[in-house]
Each structure stands twice: as C-alpha cells, then as structure tokens.
C-alpha cells in the first residue's frame, strides 16, 4: 500500500490487532483526549521506537574497511612517523 499524508507527515496504512479490553481502554483514553485512537497508537509506536530503536551509526562507520583484523593492535606501529615532514 502506498504512503499517504497525515497532517504534515507521510504515513503508511497498516492493521493492528488488539485485545478487546485494550481496545476499549484505548477508545476511552482517546475520547478523554478528544483524539482518534489511531493518533494515540501512532504516538505510542513513535515513543517505543525512540526508546528501543537504538542509535543510528554515522554513514562513515565501516567505510574504510581494510580487511585486516590486527589494525588496533598495530596502530602505534602503523602511525609512526605520521605528521613529520620528510
């Protein structure tokens, strides 16, 4: 299914199956906040993703792979003389 726009954000439609009791509690909460249940679900998923999604690594990580496994042990040897003029 193609994404569509909800407010200013592009969203993708999906189906979520909830226990009846959880859905009834969700509807009560949504009514009290004058918001649709789907908005509360989106908010909960976004918060969960922020807390448990982990940090994204910079794109540069791993870009200079040498294929060697001993670089950290040999760092001083390999960097000797760096920054000195010849």
- This prediction's pTM: 0.55
pLDDT at 31: 98
Average pLDDT over residues 74-82: 84
List the one residue out of 2, 24, 25 whose CA is nearest residue 13.
2
Q: Where are the domains of the chain?
A: 18-52
Using one digit for the tens of pLDDT, what is the confidence trace for 8-66? 678 888 999 999 999 999 999 999 999 999 999 999 999 999 888 877 777 777 677 77
pLDDT value at 70 more than 90: no
């Amino acid at each position: 299914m193609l994404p569509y726009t909800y407010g200013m954000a592009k969203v993708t439609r999906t189906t979520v199956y909830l226990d009846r009791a959880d859905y009834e509690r969700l509807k009560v909460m949504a009514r009290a906040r004058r918001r649709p249940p789907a908005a509360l679900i989106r908010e909960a998923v976004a918060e969960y993703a922020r807390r448990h999604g982990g940090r994204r690594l910079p794109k540069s990580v791993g870009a200079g792979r040498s294929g060697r496994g001993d670089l950290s042990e040999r760092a001083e040897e390999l960097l000797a003389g760096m920054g000195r003029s010849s």
